[in-house]
Amino acid sequence: MKSLRTKLKDPTNFNGLERLLYAPDQNISLPESYTHPTKEYERGMMISISNNKTHYEELIKKYREQYLTLLYCLTGKNNHSKYDIKSVEGIPSQEILIKLIQKKIPIMVCGIHDYKQQETLYGGSLQGWEYQHQHLYIYGVHHHLDSEGKTVDRITKTFNPRYTNNRKRTKDAVRITEVGTGQHIFTDPITPLNVHEYLTKPTPNTLIHYISHNRHKPEVQYPLKTIYLSLKKNAI
């Protein structure tokens, strides 16, 4: 396959965003391709959680803990506390996102949905329409995954049942999906250069548009929140 690599040798030719992302002291080269992902989860990871009998107010309290659990699954270490984790409503500035990307710090965008009216969960054991559930979009996780898929499996098994509000692990209560592949390869072409625009200006048929819109109860829209490790930390 013909390489689509773009080389910009002269930093004076960079636009403002490129100067932030590819500053000389960062020793970061341009991605191999802007058209097709070159690594699994390069465009992001979606974690969908079928929360059992859980309301919005309870879900948002778990964000920092979920992020710390994610870091543990990626590194096998508990290097940080909840005081190291930032939680902001909406999406951080482009400059903050770029600095997080430079440090390979995962960015977790959290959305909440209502269940469908009269939706039956877990084989008829629960009518869940009065409760809410979560969708998490995580960018930058691909830097920390192994090639055998063991890390992704660890995330699934750790989140389920810890964050489902079930006593035991329930099949498919936590589902992990790679973003920007298959039929979505052209609808979600996410790169370090456009991730801020992607998150702040969601267009129809994209993952972030789906996460940010509460389609089963459109009169109630829950705000997105972004969770990330403090930039004062040099690594996860």
Question: pTM surpassing 0.95?
Answer: no
* Beta bridge mates, 111: 135
**CA-based angle 55:56:61, to the nearest 5?**
105
Q: Over 50: is that where the pLDDT of 5 sits?
A: no
Q: What is the mean pLDDT of residues 175-188?
A: 93
The two beta strands, 174-178 and 120-121, are: unpaired
- Residues pairing with 45 in the sheet: 138, 178
CB 11 within 8 A of CB 24: yes
In this structure, what are the phi and psi dihedrals at residue 68, rounded to the nearest 5 degrees? -65, -40
Q: Higher-confidence residue: 107 or 26?
A: 107
Residue type, 118: Q
Angle in degrees, CA 225, 228, 229, rounded to 5: 155
Mean pLDDT of 109-114: 97
Give the bridge partners for 228, in sequence order: 86, 107
How high is the pLDDT of residue 31?
A: 42
Among residues 49, 25, 229, 35, the alpha carbon closest in space to that of 137 is found at 49
Check if the beta carbon of residue 69 is closer than 8 Å to that of residue 158. Answer: yes
Of 8-12, 89-93, 115-119, 192-196, the least confident: 8-12
pLDDT of residue 171: 92
Q: What is the structure's pLDDT at 97?
A: 98
pLDDT value for 130: 84
Can you tell me whether residue 111 is helix, strand or coil?
strand
Interacting residues of 206 by C-beta distance below 8 A, sequence separation 6+: 184, 187, 188, 198
The amino acid at residue 158 is T
Contact 44, 137 (CB under 8 A): yes
How many of the other CB atoms lie within 10 Å of CB of 121?
A: 19
Judge whether 192 and 33 are in contact, CB under 8 Å: no
The H or E element spanning position 120 is: strand 120-121
Do you find a cis peptide bond into 161, omega within 30 degrees of 0? yes
Question: Does the structure show a pLDDT above 80 at 37?
Answer: no
